[in-house]
Amino acid sequence: MLRVIDKLALPLAIATCVALAIAFGMIFFYAPVELTMGISQKIFYVHVPSAFAAYAGFILCAVASLAYLLKPREQWDIIARTGAEIGLLFCLFVMISGPLWGYKAWGTFWVWDAQLTSTFVLFMMYTGYVALRTLSPPSRMTRMISAVLGVVASAVIPFIHYAVKYWGGLHPVVQREGGGGLAPKMLHTFGVSTLAMLLLFACLVIMVVRLRQTSAEIDRLYLELHDIEHALS
Q: What CATH number is given to the structural domain containing 86?
A: 1.20.120
Domain membership flag for residue 96 = yes
Enter the pTM of the model: 0.85
Q: How far apart are CA 63 and CA 61, in angstroms?
A: 6
Domain membership flag for residue 176 = no
* Residue 199: count of CB within 10 angstroms of its CB: 20
Report yes or no: 65 and 152 within 8 Å, Cβ to Cβ. no
Distances (CA, A) of 197 to 5, 87, 93: 19, 12, 12
Domain membership flag for residue 112 = yes
Domain membership flag for residue 222 = yes
Instruction: Note down the domain range covering 212.
Output: 2-169+184-232
Reported in sequence order, the residue ranges of 14-168 that DSSP labels E, i.e. its strands, are: none
Q: How far apart are CA 141 and CA 181, in angstroms?
A: 48
Report yes or no: 175 and 36 within 8 Å, Cβ to Cβ. yes
Q: Report the pLDDT value the prediction gives residue 158, as an integer from 0 to 100.
A: 86
Domain membership flag for residue 177 = no
Average pLDDT, integer, range 36-48: 86
Domain count, the chain: 1
Read off the pLDDT of residues 120-179 as tens digits, 9 standing for 90 and up. 999 999 999 999 999 988 889 999 999 999 999 999 888 887 765 655 555 544 443 344
